Amino acid sequence: MTDLVACLGTGKGTWTGVLKLVSRQDFEQCFLIVNSWTKQSLQLKKDNLHLVVIDSEAKTASIKEEIIKQLEGKIKGFEVAVNLDSGAGKEHTAVVTALIQLGFALRFVEMDGDDMIEVSQNQRFEGE
């Protein structure tokens, strides 16, 4: 089973798809990249949910290093599912470069209604 890494930013209306992904049973662990405001606002509690708290005002390189520090050794396997539907551009850059630096293959996923789509393979996984 693959782990999920997703950004959860402060943008209005961007949480729905990310939280649908987190709620699925497809992922062994879910890591959400959040800032302190998002951490305080998020109501979702799951045993396999882990928050990676960053300073979204920091430079991209600093955010990347913080993500590496918090994820290193926690993700099993050689690939990770990634969702960047929420968050800002520099957070997205930091996430992708951190995961590449950690040596993971990336599978980009998103929700389409109740179905999860692996964008890179154009595969649809029906809702549960």
User: Hey, is 127 helix, strand or coil?
Assistant: coil
pLDDT at residue 128 in the model: 58
> In total, how many domains does the chain have?
1
Residue 9, domain CATH: 3.40.50.10770
pLDDT at residue 121 is higher than 80:
no
Q: Which residues contact 22 (CB under 8 A, 6 or more apart)?
A: 4, 6, 30, 32, 44, 46, 49
Tell me what pLDDT residue 47 has.
92
DSSP labels, 25-94: SSEEEEEEEE-HHHHHH-----TTEEEEE--TTS-HHHHHHHHHHHHTTT--SSEEEEE-SSS-HHHHHH
pLDDT digits (tens, 9 = 90+) for 57-113: 999 999 999 999 999 999 989 999 999 999 999 999 999 999 999 999 999 999 999
Q: pLDDT (tens digit, 9 = 90+) per residue, 14-57?
A: 899 999 999 988 899 999 999 999 999 998 889 999 999 999 99
More confident residue, 125 or 62: 62
Instruction: Tell me which residue range forms the domain holding 51.
Output: 2-125
Which residues share a beta bridge with 4? 30, 81
